[in-house]
Amino acid sequence: MKTVSIGDTHGKAAAETILNIINEYDKFIFMGDYVDSPVIDNLSMRKNLSDIIELKKKYPEKIVLLWGNHDIHYLLGKGHFCSGFRPGMKQEFYEIFHSNADLFQLAFEAGGYLWTHAGISGWWYEYRFMPFAEKQKKQASVAELLNTAFDKRYKAIFDIGYSRKGDFETGGPLWCDIEELTDDP
């Protein structure tokens, strides 16, 4: 399967570029953080987010939209804020993310590979996630378990590690830091 992983767009236009190559690849996986650019204006960010959502609606089997920490603070609000938050766009982004929440997911898995916004450390998986996973009644892939945990708002999904001034050894799939992954992949 020919796959393109697309990192944090942070308000940049991406949909037109993807449309130009849509037939050359099997999957396009957006890794979250669709908003909160330090340089792109609110209207452009809103348009570019809407364009990505429309792309997902037009090509639902080809486009995967993952949640990022910069999207979560608009979806969930208090307690989930991070840098770049735009108070003036709070209501609009909230409405866009809520009305399209079924198009997004926390994790995607294919061909032995797992995609999340920030990655997963061994420590987080073993000590913070396994208590949830072990309580699930059905056999499921790691991505399915992560998506279920997100849907149930399992608290560990939102962990922030010490390296980002959080309360845990490592962050969860929205906040894991490159140093944490390097030390404990």
Question: At 153, which helix (H) or strand (E)?
Answer: none
Three-state secondary-structure class, residue 115: strand
Is the pTM higher than 0.75? The answer reads: yes
What's the pLDDT score for residue 134? 92
Q: What amino acid occupies position 120?
A: I
What's the pLDDT score for residue 110? 96
The C-alpha angle with vertex 160 and arms to 43 and 155, in degrees rounded to 5, equals 95
What's the pLDDT score for residue 149? 97
- Long-range contacts formed by 124-133: CB under 8 A, 24+ apart: 124/156, 124/159, 124/168, 124/169, 124/170, 124/171, 124/172, 124/176, 124/180, 127/169, 128/156, 128/159, 128/168, 128/172, 129/156, 129/172, 132/156
What's the pLDDT score for residue 12? 95
Residue range 109-127, pLDDT digits in tens: 999 999 999 999 999 999 9
The C-alpha angle with vertex 91 and arms to 61 and 34, in degrees rounded to 5, equals 40
Give the dihedral sign, CA 78/63/99/44.
positive
Give the dihedral sign, CA 95/119/176/143.
positive
Count CB neighbours of 104 within 10 A.
21
pLDDT in tens, the chain (185 residues): 899 999 999 999 999 999 999 999 999 999 999 999 999 999 999 999 999 999 999 999 999 999 999 999 899 987 787 888 888 899 999 999 999 999 999 999 999 999 999 999 999 999 999 999 999 987 789 999 999 999 999 999 999 999 999 899 999 999 999 999 898 88
What's the pLDDT score for residue 8? 95
Question: Pick from 126, 132, 105: which is nearest to 117 by CA?
Answer: 105
What's the pLDDT score for residue 70? 94
Rounded to an integer, what is the distance from CA 85 to the centroid of its chain? 16
Contact 73, 87 (CB under 8 A): no
Q: Rg of the chain over CA atoms, in angstroms?
A: 16
What's the pLDDT score for residue 98? 96
Pairing of strands 104-105, 63-66: parallel
- Cα–Cα distance for residue pair 42/130, rounded to 1 Å: 39
